[in-house]
Amino acid sequence: VRCNKCGEEITVRARKDSEISRVSEGESPAGAEYFLRKEILGAKCNNLIYIEVSFGPGFNIISKEISGGKFVE
């Protein structure tokens, strides 16, 4: 992700066993089986970046949202 405030690029990692959770019915987009909510803080500034990602079977990304930054592909 890239911080909107300072432009720092931050590599984000997610652990399947502790950070990615199963979806409860009605909480996420259709077809989603797992989700990730994460707060990210870089080294250059104190701007928190919030991401929310929904995954389908096989952990393919169904939807993603970000606040305070941009996704870098």
Question: By the 8 A CB rule, do 57 and 33 touch?
Answer: yes
Residues 6+ apart with CB under 8 A from 70: 1, 2, 4
pLDDT per position as a tens digit, 32-57: 999 999 999 999 999 999 999 999 99
Question: Which class for 4: exposed (0-12), middle (13-18), buried (19 or more C-beta within 10 A)?
Answer: middle
Provide the mean pLDDT of the chain: 93
What does the pLDDT read at residue 55? 94
**For residue 9, what are its two tokens?**
């690029």
Residue 34 pairs in a beta bridge with 22, 55
Instruction: For residues 64-70, give the mean pLDDT.
Output: 98
Higher pLDDT, 73 or 53: 53
Domain boundaries, the chain: 2-70
